[in-house]
Amino acid sequence: MSAPLTVATELHAPSPLAAFSADIHRPRLSPLYTVGLAVVAFAMVLLPAIYLALIGLTGWGVFYHLSHNTWIMTGQGNGLGRLLLYLGPAVIGGILVFFMLKPLLARQTKAAAPLSLDPAKEPLLFAFVQRICELVHAPMPCRIDVDCQVNASASLRRGLWSKDLVLTIGLPLAAGLDMRQFAGVLAHEFGHFAQGAGMRLTYVIRNINFWFARVVYERDKWDESLEHSAKNVDLRLGVVLHAARGCVWLTRRILWALMHAGTAISCFMLRQMEYDADSYEAKVAGSDAFESTAARLQELNVASQFALEEARQSWTSNRLPENLPLLVEHKAATLPGDIRQKLLSSGDSTKTGWFDTHPCDADRVKAARALNEPGVFQVERPARELFADFAETSKAVTRHQYEKHWELEFSPQNLVSSEEMLRESAANAAADAAIRRFYGDVNISLVPLLTEALLPPFPDLGTAATQWREARNRSEQLRKDATEASARIVREQQRLVDFISARHLTAAGFKLEAKEFDLPESASSVTEQETAANSAITAATNAIHQQLVKVDEFVAALRKRVTLALRFAQNASERTPEATNELAALATTLAAVGVAMPSVHQIGTRLRAFTTLAQNRGNHSNLEEVDAEMSRLAGELKRFVAEVDAPLGNLPYPFPHPRGRLTVVEYARYEKPCANEWETVYRECDSRLDRLFALHYRLIGLILVLAEAAEKDLAPETEVPATTTTA
């Protein structure tokens, strides 16, 4: 067992360690609370005991049947029937016992090795943590790990009887909180462990809940093999296997009920544990800091989602931010006002549910206010100052995230510097805002914004201003109808994916669950389902074309508005030739990519059918029939890939890329070798979907930022209307 880390360090004034003004009084737990927690823990332990009793009862039933019902094998005639009647229940029971024992024996997926800090290199942080542990009367952690989550957690390293505490700090917390807020978060985490036996009981409760979730929902190759065998063996044996599947399903439904019973039993006490830990946070940082921390954590969580999505989009260009915590902080600082308002309103309206393990923020803030604690630590300097070199630690944890958690293969050349990352992030935020202002909620990929590489001639300034104003007003008037039409199109496209999947599956001879593919339940045979799928495809396609008319009208007005603004920007006397050429190149690329987008959508509606056929190939009795349909579909997808690439020609990719100078087609292609033709088709299609949607969005954002800037010069007396909708 490792000894807790102790830290002796020279501290430089002014040190945050000297700012702890007093000790805190440890809140007392009522005997009723402790007894209640023990009762809940006992009830939770009882639930797995019931599960084990079910296993034992099933095994005893099999034994009883085999030993007491041997009379089934006596007599004459229909020997095979008697054998099935005698051995069938034993087979069913044996399969059931195996599937019930499987979750007990299965190993959990091994977690990636954590990134741990060296106390010798982080003396101030370890001393700060130690001081908080002393305040809340919790053990000092033996290790401090860091990750990229907007979270902090303390856990027992070796399980229930372990005394080794591990603290995990999400570096986005340290990047986005001040020291006072950060101290409160740590006090909350260690407050759980100040409860001694209560924390161990909570450990039992949480782990049993997690185990039940695994038993109920986890599926593996054994489940797939049982299903496949039941569908493809001789009918007489198939009846036995289907009966076994039914028993497995029934057992899991019983366990589902036990799981929800356990959740209902435990959630109330878990919420009380959170309130108790909150009291430590309020005592250390103050009730007012508790409230500001709750609001800040909401912002950081949303910012983290934006940052991770930006990293994902960057990876489509083989580029990755080198510092995720810094990117999260930047995203939090630049959150749009409408999102901040939604966070405020959602915090006020959210209620605590019966099955919530944590109280809602509103209830927690109310409880913290009632405590009216001033706090014993008031320093509001950035929490990152507690780290010896926060930037390098953030870069290290970012690389660890990419390598160990996302399992990406990258080199230093793929990492974007912090300065460039923040510039691009700011540009992306400006582009997002411009898209929201011009498009509102209209899907930008349905109709090309620019249809020609060359912008139309620019009339005189007075005429241009008049035409621009008319186009702007018309686009604003048409936006509402276009938004509704766009939403309908998206819904029909989602249904179209189901219908096309159904058509290809039935063409390969698969019989479907009609509900899963939104087909009429009256279509019960394969032929009827194929006919219904074809009819549904026609209806959905017609509905999309009807709604596209409204979107096209809106985009036509927007196109005129934007092209006039861009033409004015090109003619501006102060604009340099380089800037003019850059604008022309962006417009040329956007026009070509816009022409390709309808074919990209066609790939998107068919790719799921291709993957579904491949995933279910082994479940079909006639592989040649499935292979023939996959080959037909692969041919369709190849044709659409060619249609995507044709308008792109040899256009250069307009942004930096780790592979150097590329054409747009080279950027869109999948660059790694594939094992066979079908994998090649899938990878090429998936790559174009992922990369061209991202490129199209980025190009439109940049064009609209330029257009918006030009509009201010084109009609400075008129403010450009803003919308509060999101793209």
- Over the stretch 307-345, which tens digit does the pLDDT of each residue have? 998 898 888 888 899 999 999 999 999 888 888 888 888
Looking at the domain assignment, is residue 460 inside a domain?
Answer: yes
**Banded model confidence at residue 652, pLDDT cuts 50, 70, 90:** very high
Domain that holds residue 247: 31-110+215-269
Residues 382-423 have pLDDT tens digits of 999 999 999 999 999 999 999 998 889 888 888 988 888 888
pLDDT band at 714 (very low <50, low <70, confident <90, very high): low
- Residue 588 in this model has a pLDDT that exceeds 60: yes
Residue 611 in this model has a pLDDT that exceeds 90: yes
CA distance 139 to 164: 8
Position of tokens 């580029």?
Answer: 319
pLDDT greater than 80 at residue 675 = yes
- Per-residue pLDDT, 7: 43
The percentage of residues in the chain with a pLDDT greater than 70, rounded to a whole number, is 84
Measured distance CA(351)–CA(353) in Å, rounded = 6
- What's the domain count of the chain? 2
pLDDT (mean) for 1-16: 51
> What is the tens place of the pLDDT at every residue in 170-216?
999 999 999 999 999 999 988 887 765 556 666 677 677 777 776 67
Residue 319 sits at the vertex; the CA angle it makes with 314 and 320, to the nearest 5 degrees, is 80
> What pLDDT score was predicted for residue 8?
41
Q: Which of 236, 253, 269 is the last residue of a domain?
A: 269
Lowest mean pLDDT, pick from 108-112, 606-610, 640-644: 108-112
Length of the chain counted residue by residue? 727
pLDDT of residue 617: 86
- Residue 574: what pLDDT? 58
Lowest mean pLDDT among 59-73, 154-168, 461-475: 154-168
Q: How far apart are CA 265 and CA 267, in angstroms?
A: 6
Q: What pLDDT score does 634 carry?
A: 95
User: Which of the 8 DSSP states describes residue 517?
Assistant: G
DSSP letters for 629-651: HHHHHHHHHHHHHHHHHGGGTTP
Asked whether residue 719 carries a pLDDT value surpassing 50, the answer given is no
Tell me whether residue 405 is in a domain.
Answer: no
Angstrom CA distances, 708 to 426, 434, 479, 535, stand at: 16, 7, 17, 44
Q: How much is the pLDDT for 77? A: 60
Q: Is position 605 within any domain?
A: yes
Q: Is the pLDDT of residue 159 over 60?
A: no
Q: Report pLDDT for 67.
A: 85
Range 611-630 average pLDDT: 88
C-alpha to C-alpha distance for 654 and 90, rounded to whole angstroms: 67
The answer to the question of residue 224 being in a domain is: yes
Name the residue type at position 565: A
Q: Which of 204, 239, 269 corresponds to the end of one domain?
A: 269
- pLDDT, position 29: 63
CB 248 within 8 A of CB 226: yes
Span 706-723, mean pLDDT?
65
Tokens of 279: 């009291």
Cα–Cα distance measured from residue 94 to residue 298, given in angstroms and rounded to the nearest whole number:
50
Q: Closest by alpha carbon to 405, among 106, 109, 159? A: 109
Write down the mean pLDDT value for the chain: 84
Q: Is the residue at 597 inside a domain?
A: yes
Return the C-alpha torsion angle 405, 406, 407, 409, nearest 10: -140
| Per-residue confidence (pLDDT) for residue 157, from 0 to 100 | 66
Residue 176 lies in a domain: no
Q: What is the pLDDT of residue 724?
A: 38
pLDDT tens for 517-575 read 999 989 889 999 999 999 999 999 999 999 999 999 999 999 999 988 888 877 765 56
Compute the average pLDDT of residues 216-236.
Answer: 65
The fraction of the chain above a pLDDT of 90, given in percent, is 47
Average pLDDT of the residues in 300-309: 93
Domain-embedded: residue 12? no
- Could you tell me the two tokens for 547? 């709604």
Each residue of 27-62: pLDDT tens digit?
Answer: 666 666 667 667 776 777 777 788 788 888 888 988
User: What is the predicted pLDDT for the residue at 470?
Assistant: 92
Task: Report the C-alpha gap between 295 and 291 in whole angstroms.
Answer: 7
Residue-level pLDDT at 344: 83
Task: Please report whether residue 407 resides in a domain.
Answer: no
pTM: 0.74
Of 251, 269, 287, which residue constitutes the final position of a domain? 269
Q: Given pLDDT bands bounded at 50, 70 and 90, which one contains residue 89?
A: confident
